Amino acid sequence: MTQYIIRGGKPLNGTVTISGAKNAAVAILPATLLVNGTCRIENVPDISDVHLLLEILDRMGAEIRRLSPNTLEISCVHVRDSEASDTLVRRIRASYYLIGAQLGRFGHARVALPGGCNFGARPIDQHIKGFEAIGADVTLSNGFVCATAPEEGLTGGRVNLDVVSVGATMNIMIGAVLANGTTIIENAAKEPHIVDLANFLNAMGAKVSGAGTDTIKVRGVRSLHGGSYSIIPDQIEAGTYMAAVAAVGGNVLIQNVIPKHMDCISAKLREMGAKVTEYDDAIRVQRTGILRRANVKTLPYPGFPTDMQPQIAVCMSLASGVSVITESIYDTRFGYCAELNRMGAAIKVETKVAVITGVEQLHGCTVHACDLRAGAAMVIAGLAADGTTVVEEIEYIERGYENIISKLEGLGASIKRVETPSRRSVHAAG
């Protein structure tokens, strides 16, 4: 098992550069199955979720050239009409994008139901509703999703999502780009990575409009051609470093970001007393005094992101007063609170609400990462705590944070990655 060893109590100072958006990359890579040519993709985050998806595509016959850790060329022209490896597929939630991609490319798909961080039930009924709206017949059997287009191919349709779903919005978009006719997705999710996927598809010749609003129109085209695309910076990675400075103290310039994507996070940190300064493609966060309490309710974009919930909880644990977090996206996403309480936090969880009473100091101890963002929260807590914190199960963290050790060391943190001689466990991530 691999661990992070953190000696806390040192403020963070310096500059950190944000990598490409994980949740855009994990949709864009499967979507290359639709492209009749070579895609050159830049600013691909060098993280294990991406490595896993590239392994899946490689085994399906994709030709992949890594020109640098963050730039690759991928051609799926010779990909066989075959199943993706179900052992790999089950390890990552984003593998469900292979359903839309295979359905759009081959007219049928058979993909193992995905894994993903454990936040309670994570159904895919809205994905299925969308595929059925464009004419596919979808069944679930033996842990697989099987989707088949009619003889005459997929046809444009209209779907109104019952739940604002990032995955369903992106998956239906992917399935619809080569359909005959126009597809309308209503009550669509509006996250930055949705817009990024639409921009990628349009760069390859698709006709997607309205991404970033709650109504997306996809006019089917006959084929997609190769081209180049650069993935947007990761909103949640940026937010994580912003929360880290607020929790630990210091003065950090976070560069290669789109500040607007973090509007809600910046506003909350300012409300809590951090100083947040926005530039064209950078944000500076400074925190010297004591943080003030605040409340958060997680919402679909542009609301406060659920993927920033564990991180802001660490800031609240160190703020003066009582803060409340209401988790409105998932059934259970507070598993990390027990770990924070072991470090001296005072958090009471009642189903979807966490009541956080600020404390003077967190104290280092051994904790584990329950999931990707909870793991990031454990790192922030360790940086803020006195003494030494050991974070276990860090495989989750490395699914979504590129070079986190060197990035934090560059900010003056004392953190190192150590391998311990026990069997590595495998972690699915959201």
Find the part of the chain contacting ligand EPZ (CB under 6 A) among 52-60, 124-132, 240-248, 415-423. 124-132
Q: Is 190 in the site for ligand EPZ (CB under 6 A)?
A: no
Q: Tell me whether residue 99 or residue 367 sits nearer to ligand EPZ (CB atom).
A: 99
Report d(CA 89, CA 114) in Å as an integer.
Answer: 6
Candidates 19, 95, 102, 126; binder of ligand EPZ (CB under 6 A) is: 126
Q: Is 117 in the site for ligand EPZ (CB under 6 A)?
A: yes
Q: Is 372 in the site for ligand EPZ (CB under 6 A)?
A: yes
Amino acid (one-letter) located at 21 = A
Amino acid (one-letter) located at 17 = T
Cβ at position 214, least distance to ligand EPZ in Å: 13
Q: Is 93 in the site for ligand EPZ (CB under 6 A)?
A: yes
Candidates 39, 117, 315, 370; catalytic one: 117
Find the part of the chain contacting ligand EPZ (CB under 6 A) among 64-72, 123-131, 308-316, 387-395. 123-131
Amino acid (one-letter) located at 150 = P
Do the beta carbons of residue 41 and residue 70 sit within 8 Å? Answer: no
Q: Is 26 in the site for ligand EPZ (CB under 6 A)?
A: yes
Candidates 167, 192, 310, 358; binder of ligand EPZ (CB under 6 A) is: 167
Amino acid (one-letter) located at 113 = L
Report d(CA 118, CA 182) in Å as an integer.
Answer: 35
Find the part of the chain contacting ligand EPZ (CB under 6 A) among 10-18, 122-130, 225-233, 350-358. 122-130
Cβ at position 328, least distance to ligand EPZ in Å: 9
Question: What's the token pair of residue 367?
Answer: 């904790």
Q: Is 290 in the site for ligand EPZ (CB under 6 A)?
A: no
Find the part of the chain contacting ligand EPZ (CB under 6 A) among 21-29, 281-289, 352-360, 383-391. 21-29
Q: What burial class does residue 86 get, using C-beta atoms within 10 Å of its C-beta: 0-12 exposed, 13-18 middle, 19+ buried?
A: middle
> Measuring CA to CA, which residue among 64, 107, 102 is closest to residue 83?
102
Q: Is 11 in the site for ligand EPZ (CB under 6 A)?
A: no
Candidates 23, 75, 102, 317; binder of ligand EPZ (CB under 6 A) is: 23
Strands (DSSP E) found in 18-160: 35-42, 63-68, 71-75, 108-112, 137-141, 144-148, 158-160
> Measuring CA to CA, which residue among 48, 388, 389 is closest to residue 378?
389
The verdict on whether 76 is a catalytic residue reads no
Cβ at position 123, least distance to ligand EPZ in Å: 4
- Residue 350 C-beta-side C-alpha neighbours within 13 Å: 3
Q: How many residues bind ligand EPZ (CB under 6 A)?
A: 26
Per-state percent for the chain, helix, strand, coil, to nearest 5: 35, 30, 35
Q: Is 186 in the site for ligand EPZ (CB under 6 A)?
A: no
Question: What's the token pair of residue 42?
Answer: 């830049």
Do the beta carbons of residue 15 and residue 255 sit within 8 Å? Answer: yes
In this structure, what are the phi and psi dihedrals at residue 353, rounded to the nearest 5 degrees? -125, 135
Q: Is 90 in the site for ligand EPZ (CB under 6 A)?
A: no
Binding site for ligand EPZ (CB under 6 A): 22-23, 26, 93-94, 117, 122-127, 163, 165-168, 189, 306-307, 329-330, 372-373, 400, 430
Catalytically active residues are 117
